């Protein structure tokens, strides 16, 4: 093609176009034929006979050039025709047989095919080896990374130099993940331990009222198995407390917080139900038994104090008015009235003293007046002081003891045993008995006071140590009791970090056992 372009340039400059074409015909060795048409469309020169049609001439003159391929029936092969308009208006026609070019193309195709087949054979032969060389380090690195991710203590083996940076990054990432997981696990364990060990009940619910978390305190309130897993269960399938069901349903419906108090058997609880941040609810249950009972005791105490003070004061006032108005003129009546006023005054005084004493014991500093107290001597002094009362009722007092010294408030110990032994005599039967036993070991001192008296019905036993609580109101007043004696006893025992137990049944006597810890004892 470049040679044809060069020929066109030479023809544009040559004055003897025929001679130049004749020379070129010899140069191309008959592979290319030439023809020259003048500006009047007359054939000026042709190396072989050309079939030039008017359409070709017109397209060449209008476009400057024209090319096409045509099958030659005479030569039985294809030829490439190209016509170019020269500067002087003549047209150069060239015809190039394609047999030589096809031969070259075939040769090139055969060579290319051979190379391609050889390349495929080499690829088939070398691919397993090359892939093994390339992929084996990757497989090894992958295996090491899996072991690192699964086993935090795994020491990775050496990998290919090219993969070392990637492996180092994997190890660093794994260490960072392990550190983060350790922190999260520690925080989770801390939160779980706090939730499990708090005395309050805690229940977390999701938006479908399914349990996310519930601690043991909440399980106890709901009467659930402490060791069972309830996560994922619907809370309404487990609740047996109707007030809780009702309040939780209302809170869910209104999507607002609510609070209510409820009593279950002998326990008192306060419930806090509040929406959580994840569209669920939180139920917080506080055991208010101690506070509630203390409030009840305080309320009863205030009521009882008013009643106990009012009774003798009313009696004193009534008889005093009778004396003032002169309604009593008989000497015996006056003396009897004065005696009643005196007894009621004493009763009122004893009551006030007991109230003040109880308040003093509750508010005094622990161990402020503690000293070494000889236990047998203290009890013997109490028995001697009460022996006259015991003889009046023909009550026999038995005392068994072993040598023992205890670190305590001596006045409180005397008051403690005086109240207990006096009660054992007062509420005993005629010709009854009282047994006092005292002994100590390395752990604690135990004092047991048993009587053969009227006993205490079981339903009253739990409340017998409450202020002003009396099993039989009329009998207690007849014996001169204020209803505070056993309450004072309980507070003295608690002041000394001790424990007190009562065992009794109606008409079978009463046994009171007191235990004081060894930590309060001195050798």
* Model confidence pLDDT, tens digit, residues 69-83: 777 666 667 778 888
Residue 258 contacts by C-beta under 8 Å, 6 or more apart in sequence?
247, 250, 251, 273
Asked if 372 contacts 505 with a C-beta cutoff of 8 angstroms, the reply is no
Bridge partners (DSSP) listed for residue 77: 72
3-state secondary structure of 303: helix
* pLDDT for the residue 151: 67
* pLDDT for the residue 358: 64
**Do 380 and 513 fall into the same domain?**
yes
* pLDDT for the residue 437: 92
Asked if pLDDT for residue 520 goes beyond 50, the answer is: no
Tokens 């050798």 correspond to: 523
Higher pLDDT, 23 or 256: 256
Which among 268, 287, 306 is the end of a domain?
Answer: 287
**Do 353 and 470 fall into the same domain?**
no
3-state secondary structure of 406: strand
Assign residue 272 the CATH number of its domain: 3.30.450.20
Asked if pLDDT for residue 38 goes beyond 70, the answer is: yes
DSSP 158: P
48: how many CB neighbours lie within 10 A of its CB? 10
Six-digit token string for 287? 């055991």
Domain extent at residue 204: 198-287
Assign residue 413 the CATH number of its domain: 3.30.565.10
**Do 326 and 422 fall into the same domain?**
no
Task: Give domain status of residue 159, yes or no.
Answer: no
- Mean pLDDT over residues 4-30, rounded? 68
- Mean pLDDT over residues 117-124, rounded? 84
Asked if pLDDT for residue 474 goes beyond 60, the answer is: no
**Do 276 and 309 fall into the same domain?**
no
- Cα torsion 451, 456, 460, 462 to 10°: value is 30
Task: Give domain status of residue 31, yes or no.
Answer: yes
Tokens 């519930």 correspond to: 214
Bridge partners (DSSP) listed for residue 397: 434
pLDDT digits (tens, 9 = 90+) for 156-178: 666 666 667 777 777 777 778 77
The whole-angstrom separation of Cα 258 and Cα 272 is 6
The whole-angstrom separation of Cα 339 and Cα 253 is 70
- Mean pLDDT over residues 179-204, rounded? 80
* pLDDT for the residue 433: 92
Least confident of 116-130, 430-444, 491-505: 116-130
Asked if 288 contacts 270 with a C-beta cutoff of 8 angstroms, the reply is yes
Give the H or E element holding residue 103: helix 99-150
Q: Is the dihedral of CA 216, 222, 226, 231 positive or negative?
A: negative
Look at the chain and report how many structural domains it folds into: 4
**Do 24 and 76 fall into the same domain?**
yes
Task: Give domain status of residue 116, yes or no.
Answer: no
Asked if 477 contacts 350 with a C-beta cutoff of 8 angstroms, the reply is no
- Mean pLDDT over residues 389-395, rounded? 89
* pLDDT for the residue 513: 93
Name the residue among 452, 457, 339, 458 with its Cα closest to residue 394.
452
**Do 388 and 345 fall into the same domain?**
no
Which among 249, 268, 287 is the end of a domain?
Answer: 287
Task: Give domain status of residue 167, yes or no.
Answer: no
Task: For the chain, give the percent of residues with pLDDT over 90.
Answer: 11
pLDDT band, residue 436 (cuts 50/70/90): very high
- Cα torsion 317, 318, 319, 325 to 10°: value is 100
Task: For the chain, give the percent of residues with pLDDT over 70.
Answer: 79
* Residue 317: HSE in the Cβ half-sphere, 13 Å Cα cutoff: 6
Six-digit token string for 210? 């399914």
* pLDDT for the residue 522: 45
DSSP 77: E
* pLDDT for the residue 394: 92
DSSP 234: B
**Do 259 and 310 fall into the same domain?**
no
Q: Per mean pLDDT, which of 3-17, 294-308, 435-449, 484-498 is the most reliable?
A: 435-449
**Do 300 and 407 fall into the same domain?**
no
The whole-angstrom separation of Cα 86 and Cα 336 is 168
What is the value of pTM for the model shown? 0.44
**Do 297 and 420 fall into the same domain?**
no
pLDDT digits (tens, 9 = 90+) for 339-372: 877 777 777 776 677 667 666 666 666 656 788 8
Which among 97, 119, 143 is the end of a domain?
Answer: 97
Higher pLDDT, 100 or 112: 112
The whole-angstrom separation of Cα 425 and Cα 37 is 161
Six-digit token string for 180? 């983060």
> Taking each helix axis from N to C terminus, what angle separates 164-197 and 99-150, rounded to the nearest 10 degrees?
40
* pLDDT for the residue 457: 84
State the chain's mean pLDDT as an integer. 79
Asked if pLDDT for residue 201 goes beyond 70, the answer is: yes
Asked if pLDDT for residue 252 goes beyond 80, the answer is: yes
The whole-angstrom separation of Cα 449 and Cα 419 is 11
**Do 344 and 412 fall into the same domain?**
no
Residue 175 to residues 144, 170, 179: CA-CA distances in angstroms?
15, 9, 6
**Do 400 and 503 fall into the same domain?**
yes
**Do 232 and 331 fall into the same domain?**
no
Asked if pLDDT for residue 421 goes beyond 70, the answer is: yes
Least confident of 399-408, 452-461, 471-480: 471-480
DSSP helix, strand, coil percent of the chain (3-state; round to 5) = 50, 20, 25
Asked if pLDDT for residue 455 goes beyond 70, the answer is: yes
């Amino acid at each position: 093609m470049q040679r044809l372009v060069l020929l066109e340039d030479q023809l544009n400059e040559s004055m003897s176009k025929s001679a130049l074409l004749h020379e070129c015909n010899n140069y191309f060795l008959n592979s290319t034929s030439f023809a020259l048409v003048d500006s009047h469309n007359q054939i000026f020169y042709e190396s072989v006979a050309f079939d030039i049609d008017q359409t070709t001439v017109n397209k060449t003159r209008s476009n400057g050039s024209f090319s096409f391929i045509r099958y030659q029936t005479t030569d039985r092969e294809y030829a490439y025709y190209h016509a170019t308009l020269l500067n002087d208006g003549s047209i150069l026609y060239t015809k190039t047989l394609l047999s030589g070019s096809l031969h070259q193309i075939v040769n090139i195709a055969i060579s290319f095919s051979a190379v391609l087949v050889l390349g495929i054979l080499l690829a088939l032969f070398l691919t397993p080896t090359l892939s093994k060389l390339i992929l084996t380090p990757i497989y090894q690195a992958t295996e090491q990374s899996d072991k690192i991710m699964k086993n935090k203590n795994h020491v990775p083996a050496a990998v290919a130099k090219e993969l070392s940076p990637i492996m180092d990054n994997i190890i660093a990432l794994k260490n960072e993940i392990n550190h983060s997981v350790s922190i999260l696990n520690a925080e989770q364990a801390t939160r779980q331990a706090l939730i499990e060990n708090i005395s309050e009940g805690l229940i977390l619910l999701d938006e479908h009222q399914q349990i996310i978390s519930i601690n043991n305190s909440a399980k106890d309130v709901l009467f659930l198995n402490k060791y069972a897993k309830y996560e994922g269960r619907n809370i309404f399938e487990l609740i047996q407390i109707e007030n809780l069901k009702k309040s939780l349903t209302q809170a869910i419906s209104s999507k607002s917080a609510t609070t209510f108090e409820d009593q279950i058997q002998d326990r008192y609880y306060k419930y806090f139900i509040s929406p959580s941040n994840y569209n669920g609810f939180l139920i917080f249950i506080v055991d208010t038994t101690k506070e509630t009972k203390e409030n009840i005791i305080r309320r009863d105490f205030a009521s009882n104090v008013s009643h106990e003070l009012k009774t003798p004061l009313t009696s004193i006032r009534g008889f005093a008015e009778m004396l003032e108005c002169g309604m009593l003129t008989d000497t015996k009546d006056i003396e009897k009235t004065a005696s009643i006023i005196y007894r009621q005054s004493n009763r009122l005084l004893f009551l006030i003293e007991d109230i003040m004493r109880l308040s003093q014991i509750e508010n005094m500093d622990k161990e402020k007046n503690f000293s070494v107290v000889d236990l047998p001597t203290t009890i013997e002094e109490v028995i001697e002081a009460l022996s006259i009362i015991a003889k009046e009722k023909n009550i026999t007092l038995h005392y068994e003891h072993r040598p023992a010294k205890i670190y305590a408030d001596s006045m409180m110990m005397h008051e403690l045993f005086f109240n207990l032994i006096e009660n054992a005599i007062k509420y005993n039967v005629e010709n009854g008995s009282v047994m006092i036993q005292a002994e100590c070991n390395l752990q604690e001192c135990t004092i047991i006071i048993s009587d053969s008296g009227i006993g205490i019905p079981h339903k009253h036993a739990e409340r017998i140590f409450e202020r002003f609580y009396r099993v039989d109101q009329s009998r207690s007043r007849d014996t001169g009791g204020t209803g505070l004696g056993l309450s004072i006893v309980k507070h003295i025992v608690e002041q000394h970090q001790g424990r007190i137990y009562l065992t009794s049944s109606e008409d079978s006597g009463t046994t009171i056992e007191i235990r004081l810890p060894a930590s309060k004892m001195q050798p």
